[in-house]
Structure 1
């Protein structure tokens, strides 16, 4: 199943390493209610895997030119911060996966659509940041996911060719980016299941990182 020798493993952050996506959806809907509007769950789901910068554009376009995206972003950030300051949950299987890969001497990196300050704060608070040799963020690249830029940047920072990297993603947008970068891409869905066209780009879809680790133990 692994087409090339594996030299490194690249991870998305939100929804894969850290259980933040549900928190962000709640914060989006709370911010909308603060401003006297409703934001549907379907619209929130359409932003999963999309960077904050691009989400702002989507929200502005959806609600129109008169919508105060700055006020919305302020309310959203406040709601999200209060929730995440009280509890920043790590997804099941993360620690065991990182222990296993580290024991095999593989280089590890994060390739996230979040900005650098958010990524470093969340990875640090979750006790994960020292596990990674590199962290590539939305701030480090020209194009956000589903473009491959952040995965290419993560591989570049590790000094490993993308085709010798395994990538783990939880979202359809992220998996599309990892596949476009030429990595050996796996999906561990968080909130949304893989689309048919995205599933075709995965080497495999796992229930969680425990299952993914067990397969890698047999393959590496």
Structure 2
């Protein structure tokens, strides 16, 4: 590992165990509008910006489908679940607490738009710790393009090789590694492409296995 001067996290599937909630929101919303949509069909939407998901769904459901009403229903479901507090990935809270003690810049890089991203952190105090907060509406090209991570590094005034990233999806790992960041993959809802895993410095099952990184960072 090259010296680490900042740590960036993806949000959904990395910090929060939220993909099931998103999947349920789509299945339930489709049912409310008498449309066929299964949990398996949601796999193609994982890691994709909401605006693109809605565009795909509109083609799937038909041009005459009341897409704006569907979106409103889907967003209301998601916002309600977020307001209750999203479940966190195993070991994240402890890892984050240890990382804070190093007084190292911490940031978030997500494909979610700003307001939706902020709402995800309801009932947590993580927002106060983020030095950079990069959301999908700030870049022209979303993950798997590297733009979001390059923007984060630019704001931190750091070279990507000195930034450690935690990601869970193929799109996220592709974005982080293409930007030149040192990337740790913790696969979530779907497996990460094997070629992309080969570009990561570590592949872990959960943050419960990541504490050795704290030791490495603190002694560098």
Both proteins in one fold, TM over 0.5: yes
Out of 32, 35, 38, which is 1:37 matched to? 35
- 2:214 aligns to what? 217
- 1:95 aligns to what? 93
Deviation at 1:41, TM superposition (A): 2.1
Tell whether 2:149 aligns with 1:151.
Answer: yes
TM-score by length of 1: 0.92
What are the within-5 Å matches in structure 2 for residues 34-183 of structure 1? 34-183=32-181
Q: How many residues align?
A: 217
3-state SS, counterpart of residue 55 of structure 1: helix
3-state SS, counterpart of residue 110 of structure 1: strand
Range moving further from structure 2, 202-211 or 123-132: 123-132
CA contact (8 A) 1:98 1:131 kept: no
CA contact (8 A) 1:111 1:154 kept: yes
Tell whether 2:201 aligns with 1:203.
Answer: yes
CA contact (8 A) 1:90 1:126 kept: no
Report Cα offsets for 1:94-120 as digits up to 9, x if no partner. Answer: 222222222222211000000111112
3-state SS, counterpart of residue 7 of structure 2: strand
Report Cα offsets for 1:142-168 as digits up to 9, x if no partner. Answer: 111111111111222222111111110
Deviation at 1:69, TM superposition (A): 2.2
Separation in 1 of the partners of 2:66 and 2:167? Answer: 32
TM-score by length of 2: 0.92
CA contact (8 A) 2:109 2:152 kept: yes
RMSD: 1.6
Unaligned runs of 5+ in 2: none
CA contact (8 A) 1:109 1:158 kept: no
3-state SS, counterpart of residue 145 of structure 1: coil
Separation in 2 of the partners of 1:99 and 1:204? Answer: 21
Separation in 1 of the partners of 2:25 and 2:179? Answer: 31
Deviation at 1:218, TM superposition (A): 4.0
Report Cα offsets for 1:4-61 as digits up to 9, x if no partner. Answer: 2111111001111122211010001000001101212232111111111121122223
Separation in 1 of the partners of 2:55 and 2:207? Answer: 32
